[in-house]
Amino acid sequence: MNNTEHPTLEFDSPIRRFVTKRLIGVDKEVSIRDAVSKMVDFNISSMAVLEGEEVIGFFTDADIKERVVARGLSCQEPVNDIMTTDLITADINFSIREVLEIMSKHGIKHILVTEQRKTVGIITLRDLETMDRQKFETYIARE
């Protein structure tokens, strides 16, 4: 950064720099109850569903409320029954701006990150907002 007083906004930077979260997943046959226990243990708000090594689905806190609790579905059912299979992904070389646009277009807050078509991580709207906040606070601290 050349100008320390006015840090450059990095909306055009690739998300690669910010994808630090390990993607946590469970096999598609795992029960909703066991999968959610794992979410509680890891303090995460979304989870990947796997078939072998491949990510075949995804679900979030909102899906648990809507598809399990509100519908009275048994927690013994496999996560296979509640996952979203129409996966929206962003390549790790996409810019933050592009990812925000994809999230906005699809009305989603979580997006799977791929590299050479393989799922390698996840990034959330909250991650991006928090990044902004840190930049903001950095700017303020320099005032």
List residues binding a second copy (CB under 8 A). Answer: 6, 9, 32-33, 36-37, 39-40, 45, 61-62, 64-66, 68-70, 72, 75-76, 126, 129-130, 132-133, 135-136, 139-140, 143
Structure tokens at 85: 């299979």
Whether residue 110 contacts residue 89, with contact meaning beta carbons closer than 8 Å, is answered with no
How many other C-beta atoms are found inside a 10 Å radius of the C-beta of residue 15? 23
Tracing tokens 């979030």 back to the chain, one arrives at 60
Q: Give 52 or 141: the residue with its C-beta nearer to a second copy.
A: 141
Shortest reach from residue 70's CB to a second copy, in Å: 4
Residue 44 and residue 38: Cα distance in Å, rounded?
A: 9
Residue 29 and residue 33: Cα distance in Å, rounded?
A: 11
Q: Give 75 or 102: the residue with its C-beta nearer to a second copy.
A: 75
Shortest reach from residue 82's CB to a second copy, in Å: 11
Q: Give 23 or 32: the residue with its C-beta nearer to a second copy.
A: 32
